[in-house]
Amino acid sequence: MQQIAVVKPDGQIKPTGKSTLSDEQITLMERWYQDQKERRDQRAANRLEDLIDELNAVTQWLQSDADSALVKSQTEPLLMALHDFRMTLARCLSKDS
């Protein structure tokens, strides 16, 4: 198997060396790239849904039977992570506006 092209992260297809690509090869690579992008996007959406579920579960655990020593030891790192998360969300939302 010989490498004939590189697909860049933005979807741009670059032949390697002195390779010339047929229309069929380009179409196959574009289709492959689109499929990969859709899978990555779906995995990202799934991770966000999992994060929401996990945050809800932790909230429930904190309200019901969390050990106060454990909560005290983890409060600062958790608040910092949530602060960073909130700031990143706000930045992302402001870019789309």
Report how many domains make up the chain: 2
The pLDDT assigned to 1 comes to 83
Q: Indicate whether 71 and 56 sit together in one domain.
A: no
User: How far is it, in rounded angstroms, from Cα 32 to Cα 39?
Assistant: 11
Are 12 and 37 part of one and the same domain?
A: yes
Give the rounded percent of residues in the chain with a pLDDT score beyond 70.
100
- Tokens in use for 16? 């390697």
Same-domain pairing of 45 and 72 = no
Confidence of residue 2 (pLDDT cuts 50, 70, 90): confident
Q: What is the pTM of this model?
A: 0.70
Domain identity same for 60 and 81: no
Same domain, 33 and 46: yes
| Total residues belonging to the chain | 97
What's the average model confidence in pLDDT over 93-97? Answer: 86
Same domain, 94 and 62: no
Say whether both 36 and 80 belong to one domain.
Answer: no
Contacts of residue 3, Cβ cutoff 8 Å, sequence gap at least 6:
16
Same-domain check for residues 45 and 71: no
Cβ atoms of residues 34 and 44 within 8 Å: no
- Euclidean distance between CA atoms 4 and 19, whole angstroms: 6
- Grade residue 43 by pLDDT with cuts at 50, 70 and 90: very high
Same domain, 38 and 76: no
79, 93: one domain: yes
User: Using alpha carbons only, how large is the chain's radius of gyration in Å?
Assistant: 22
Give the domain extent around 53. 1-66
